[in-house]
Structure 1
């Protein structure tokens, strides 16, 4: 039987799904793989197809789309965290797939947004959605992605950006001090907003408040952060611990860290909204938002989003929602595989 293949390739895990052209909304077969356990994506796909054939019978893949955690240039991409070089022409030849497309992982998220259902979203501001108006997306995770969807009269097309690398715009004395702390501690002559709005950014804000504020550390958090700072192979990313302690209201330093992070996040989302006027909605994607929903719904995010002086009123009717579905990028890859045709 003929299938379409969709994939979401990240530095940590690779998620693959088979669907049919007649029913792309239903997964026929799906598996997740630990990316670093394989030498390349070809090995993963071959193992995936073998497992699928054991369950579904003989499989032919007519077209495929893979979302890649890296820039895609001339049908090729490099994933530095895995040292993988991915070339669409090579994949078509080695995997016997007639049509294969590579897209950036945040582009895949963009194409996944129109596929979402109401249960996949948590509204922060209902607003008034205008059909076929622009849609904006922003998502903090390992880095910071930003993108725009423009309707061409038939469907939405994704316009990728490198908006996560614009300059960090401090708005208050603590944020100016954070900027200077990062500039000196990291020995940089500029600070991008991604340096702050990312998993690593949460740790940086924690370190800044710890080193310059009036906060004492909680042992549980301090031990995780110190181990991470030592750069040992067994170090655990402190982000989860810091955010969990903030949600539980058990550590003032973690609470202050996440309050500053969420406020900066809301402000940057508001900046994106002013630049794009997304009257069909702005969507907050990425792993951090969905995992920290209580912190994004306490009013801090939206207060910063709408605090834009004389033009604040422009943002009051724009729908704002957090994407809860962690497979939104895979949905976008499915949509693009379907567009290639069977």
Structure 2
């Protein structure tokens, strides 16, 4: 059996996986705050389950992964593949970023795990792209090669903001100015909050609350700002589709993407994505990943490829 783990900022989710994918009957979730390290979580999981014979382990980490080492962004947890292998008697250990895990999961997900944003035909065996807009921003290219999937590491959050996005802000909310030097400065939880504050002039209102009250009386300015943000996401996704030749489709993940693109404001993003392009002859489909176990499915796929 293989052990798979999805280590987020708040919770750690672990399960066993075989050739058919995760065995969800073995899924356990733990609060990170209750443990001093990932080693402690893993020890607890194995004790809860009864130590199985493990051949491989794949751990998806919500933080930077540098070769054989990883670090959780918002907690002092460090991971080293050789140390984990030796300590727990596992032959093969692989550390991957949590968005990379979603990249390995994307084309393996059941339709019930996806909410369509743009319905279109997806040609088989074409490159796809996972786009994560949440606490931070990044993407994971999905490159199929027969039964195998390759998800190269990239850093898309710290590149300059596209000109099309800046022009849209200038045209529809000139009071915002140009405070977003990088993609992640705007397309992240803090970026969404900042744009709403600049458009509405209210720095105390919570973005989640304004999104929940979208379209209700008295929220006209905030709702217009959310519509603008959905348009900006659409413009960014058009650029990313071309840059990564994601003709196999876009997969959206992260709390910000899921929140906005599951609201009525999603129509403004969809309208931009459906605009004709002179660079590809058909509009790629786009989905929102809604399955909380998606990263584990990706980890299971990586484990099977080891």
Q: Do both share a fold (TM > 0.5)?
A: yes
Change in 2 beyond 3 A, CA 1:48/1:154:
closer
Change in 2 beyond 3 A, CA 1:313/1:103:
closer
Contact 2:21 2:297 in 1 (8 A): no
Structure 1: runs of 5 or more not aligned: 184-190, 212-216, 226-237
1:150 and 1:138 mapped to 2: Cα distance? 14
Task: Show the 5 A alignment for 1:277-288.
Answer: 277-288=245-256
1:4 to 2, 5, 23: 2
Task: Show the 5 A alignment for 1:316-331.
Answer: 316-331=282-297
Question: Which residue number corresponds to residue 32 of structure 1?
Answer: 29
Task: Show the 5 A alignment for 1:46-61.
Answer: 46-53=43-50, 58-61=51-54
Question: Which residue number corresponds to residue 199 of structure 1?
Answer: 189
Structure 2: runs of 5 or more not aligned: none
**Alpha-carbon distance, 1:271 to partner:** 0.6
The DSSP-based 3-state class of the residue aligned with 1:115 is coil
2:90 and 2:59 mapped to 1: Cα distance? 12
Question: Which residue number corresponds to residue 77 of structure 2?
Answer: 84
Question: Which residue number corresponds to residue 305 of structure 2?
Answer: 339
Q: Rg: which structure is higher?
A: 1
Change in 2 beyond 3 A, CA 1:46/1:306:
same
**Alpha-carbon distance, 1:166 to partner:** 1.7
2:122 to 124, 129, 147: 129
Contact 1:138 1:284 in 2 (8 A): yes
C-alpha RMSD of matched pairs (Å): 2.3
Change in 2 beyond 3 A, CA 1:97/1:258:
same
Question: Which residue number corresponds to residue 17 of structure 1?
Answer: 15
2:256 and 2:208 mapped to 1: Cα distance? 9
Question: Which residue number corresponds to residue 305 of structure 1?
Answer: 273
1:286 and 1:315 mapped to 2: Cα distance? 29
Change in 2 beyond 3 A, CA 1:298/1:75:
closer
Change in 2 beyond 3 A, CA 1:46/1:265:
same
Name the one with the larger helix percent. Answer: 1
Are residues 1:168 and 2:147 paired? no
1:315 and 1:177 mapped to 2: Cα distance? 37
1:141 and 1:103 mapped to 2: Cα distance? 18
- Per mean C-alpha deviation after superposition, the further-off stretch among 103-112 and 146-155 is 146-155
Contact 2:230 2:260 in 1 (8 A): no
Q: TM-score, normalised to structure 2's length?
A: 0.89
**Alpha-carbon distance, 1:255 to partner:** 1.3
2:221 and 2:46 mapped to 1: Cα distance? 48
Moved over 6 A (4+): none
Change in 2 beyond 3 A, CA 1:290/1:249:
farther
Deviations 1:101-128 (CA, angstroms, capped at 9, x unpaired) = 0001111110011220111112222222
Contact 2:173 2:199 in 1 (8 A): no
**Alpha-carbon distance, 1:152 to partner:** 2.4
**Alpha-carbon distance, 1:49 to partner:** 0.9
Change in 2 beyond 3 A, CA 1:294/1:103:
closer
Question: Which residue number corresponds to residue 240 of structure 2?
Answer: 272
Q: TM-score, normalised to structure 1's length?
A: 0.80
Change in 2 beyond 3 A, CA 1:251/1:335:
same
Question: Which residue number corresponds to residue 187 of structure 1?
Answer: none
Instruction: Give the aligned length.
Output: 301
